[in-house]
Amino acid sequence: MTVPSPQPSVIQSAKKLVLKVGSSLVTNEGKGIDIDAVSRWAAQIAQLRAQGRQIVLVSSGAIAEGMARLGWPRRPSAMYELQAAAAVGQMGLVQAYEAAFTHHGIRTAQILLTHEDLADRRRYLNARSTLYTLLALGVVPIVNENDTVVTNEIRVGDNDTLGALVTNLIEADALVILTDQTGLYSADPRKHPDATFIHQGQAGDPALEAMAGGSGSAIGTGGMLTKVLAARRAANSGGHTVIASGHEANVLLRLAAGEPIGTELRAVLPVRSARQRWLANHLRLRGRVTLDAGAVRALTEAHRSLLAIGVVDVEGDFERGDVVACVDEHGVECGRGLINYSAADTARILRRPSSQIADILGHMSDQELMHRDNMVFARRRPTAAPQ
């Protein structure tokens, strides 16, 4: 599971990198953008570029900068105020990056994404080709969530996950998540003095996910679990993840030189195809179908298509072509895919053999409720949803 003696960092050989910096690394508590910090990140990234690497930067900090510009001492809780702060602050964030990178003769581009942009196949492909084009042009894309327009239904929600989605989108070799913590411990070191630091592990290892999010692990509440799950997602396209402290001097240059800093979560699972990743990366689904035990086995063990006869329940309001989850009787997801029938039609044909579909509905578009070619299957049972 974990390797005690660290090898050289995977970042050493990574040519295409997604770098995520958290708000605390680019802003001063209550005072907005920390220009010196932004300049230091730009200087390091300029050196990585000079080494022939391509970088996409995912940066938080818009809300913190917006609060400072608006003179708000406390983070508002109302969505519309957060969105207003993000709209004001994003200006400052990209201004700071542009000024800092211009100093090194590097152009920057602003990319604001929502989950919906990545869930819609055409917009996903557009975002992908734009990022590829920018990288080919030598530009450093600076990505953030489009906080101004997001609602809970369409938001990614955090920039660790957004960083992993961008890693998948551009098939980056590695995702570096810089934070104000040193990395992952086996337990909360404040409560467990014997907790050990995890130098290296495998992305998607359920034991690490339990350490990051398990009960009694304060360090895992929120922050670290999101990062460990982001590593699992990044691994879908073969991206390794490093979670390290942004307070380490020259952390990016040292990682690039092979110094093992932080927690490295290596991508060891077979890489999913771009289409499977697109399916797996749907964070918000339109509905779900509950399967009987036989159908669960057919999906998880043989990766078969889903037939209506194996479905016992349907929830949600979806149309033909929407992405829908397949869950077992405990609600654990065993796969997901593009469904061939609407929620209303599915409710009418569930538990029925395919030969009766035409009679029941008066039409039949497909034998299968979901075809295996349009599905992605969970890699682990019983705890994991496809990520």
Helix (H, G, I), strand (E, B) or coil at 253: helix
CB of 57 to ligand GLU, least distance (A): 12
Q: Which is nearer to ligand GLU, 53 or 233 (CB)?
A: 233
CB of 214 to ligand GLU, least distance (A): 22
Using Cβ positions, the residue closest to ligand GLU within the complex turns out to be 60
Give the closest residue to 370 by CA, choosing from 324, 314, 331, 334: 324
Q: Which is nearer to ligand GLU, 67 or 334 (CB)?
A: 67
Residue 332 contacts residue 386 (beta carbons within 8 Å) = no
CB of 100 to ligand GLU, least distance (A): 17
Helix then strand count (H, E) for the chain reads 14, 15
CB of 82 to ligand GLU, least distance (A): 8
The Cα–Cα gap between 387 and 279 comes to: 9
Residues 268-307 that bind ligand GLU (CB under 6 A): none
The Cα–Cα gap between 23 and 64 comes to: 7
Q: Which is nearer to ligand GLU, 95 or 367 (CB)?
A: 95
R_g (Cα) of the chain, nearest Å: 22
CB of 108 to ligand GLU, least distance (A): 16
Residue 181 contacts residue 28 (beta carbons within 8 Å) = no
Biggest alpha carbon distance in the chain? 70
DSSP of 154-199, one letter per residue? T---SHHHHHHHHHHHHT-SEEEEEESS---BSS-TTT-TT--B--
| Tokens matching residue 245 | 């402290």
Residues 146-165 that bind ligand GLU (CB under 6 A): 147, 158-159
Q: Which is nearer to ligand GLU, 85 or 376 (CB)?
A: 85
Q: Which is nearer to ligand GLU, 133 or 151 (CB)?
A: 151
Residues 6-35 that bind ligand GLU (CB under 6 A): 22-23
CB of 90 to ligand GLU, least distance (A): 7
CB of 61 to ligand GLU, least distance (A): 5
Q: Quick one: which segment of 39-47, 131-139, 141-149, 339-347 binds ligand GLU (CB under 6 A)?
A: 141-149
CB of 53 to ligand GLU, least distance (A): 24
The Cα–Cα gap between 226 and 360 comes to: 45
Q: Quick one: which segment of 143-151, 288-296, 305-313, 352-360 binds ligand GLU (CB under 6 A)?
A: 143-151
CB of 59 to ligand GLU, least distance (A): 7
The Cα–Cα gap between 306 and 324 comes to: 12
Residue 55 contacts residue 49 (beta carbons within 8 Å) = yes
By CB under 6 A, residue 179 contacts ligand GLU = no
Neighbours of 161 (CB within 10 A): 24
Residues 39-68 that bind ligand GLU (CB under 6 A): 60-64
Q: Which is nearer to ligand GLU, 114 or 340 (CB)?
A: 114
Helices (H), 103-158: 115-119, 121-136
Q: Which is nearer to ligand GLU, 85 or 174 (CB)?
A: 85
By CB under 6 A, residue 38 contacts ligand GLU = no
Left, alpha or beta for 274 (phi > 0: left; psi -120 to 50: alpha)? alpha
Q: Which is nearer to ligand GLU, 155 or 266 (CB)?
A: 155
Burial per residue of 76-115, b for 16 or more beta-carbon CB atoms within 10 angstroms, e otherwise:
beeeebbbbbbbbbbebbbebbbebbeeeebebbebbbbb
List 54, 108, 144, 167, residue binding ligand GLU (CB under 6 A): 144
Q: Which is nearer to ligand GLU, 25 or 48 (CB)?
A: 25
Q: Which is nearer to ligand GLU, 158 or 368 (CB)?
A: 158
Residues 6+ positions from 288 with CB-CB distance below 8 Å: 314, 315, 316, 324, 325, 326, 327, 333
Contact residues toward ligand GLU (CB under 6 A) are 22-23, 60-64, 86, 144-145, 147, 158-159
